[in-house]
Amino acid sequence: MKGAIHATAVVEDGARLGADVEIGPFCHVGPQTTLGDGVRLVSHVSLAGDTTVGARTVIYPFASIGHPPQDLKYRGEPVRLSIGEDCLIREGVTMNPGTAGGGSETVVGPRSVFLASAHVGHDCRIGEGVVMSNNVMLGGHCQIGDFANLGGGVAVHQFVRIGAYAFVGGLAGVEHDLIPFGIALGNRAALAGLNVVGLKRRGFSHETIHELRRAYKMLFNGAGTLKERIDDLGEAFADQEAVQQIVAFLRQGGDRAICVPRAGKDEQG
């Protein structure tokens, strides 16, 4: 059973369709595309390149998925875009595949949400349950951790990492890495505390949130160099998994500096 394919849709020879796929009016599905079981293309969706769409993902009109990366160094080499299952991709969203300089693949985790006109640049790595609101823009090579939430109009600089469960306020311009569980606000975005509301919604215990608050103060208000404070954090909270997630994120490092609080600003959240 191949589901319903509208008479005006174009499905190129070679495209692979799972069971119960629905392809609405005026969609175009390229010859290297794979659609998992139950995928739904509402209408006017364009899928190109070596693109895989996970089961039950729904894509709304005028989304452009898998077309060549917006990188002037791209010369037509084989690249991929992989989208996980149960994603929601709203109107006008654009997602680019990878490039040879970034591993040749863009990866979008399962159960993530992309609201109208959001953009996922080449070579990005997006985790599970991420929410990108309207007009969020990710430059190339960004990494977005599980369950991070990016408010409307956020612009994320290329190579920036945003940790799991973090929150970025609307219209922020993010040029530095954001620790897991952190909140970033403003342009240019600065760390404004912990995403306590998000942590409560995700079922984190009061004790865990309390320990994260203690760790935050030690990390950003303690004595010594940043490396010394990270080491102190690792030892003082050796049995606290959430804090160790922050430690691991910081030790891993990246191509950008990290977001820190603005001088004189108290923690929010």
Catalytic residues: 122-123, 140
DSSP 182-207: EEEETBTTEEEEE-HHHHHHTT--HH
Distance of CA 262 to the CA centre of its chain: 25
Residue 244 CA to residue 159 CA, distance in Å, equals 23
Region for 69 from its dihedrals, namely left if φ exceeds 0, alpha if ψ lies in -120 to 50, beta otherwise: beta
* Residue 112, burial from CB neighbour count under 10 angstroms (0-12, 13-18, 19+): buried
Residue 153 CA to residue 161 CA, distance in Å, equals 17
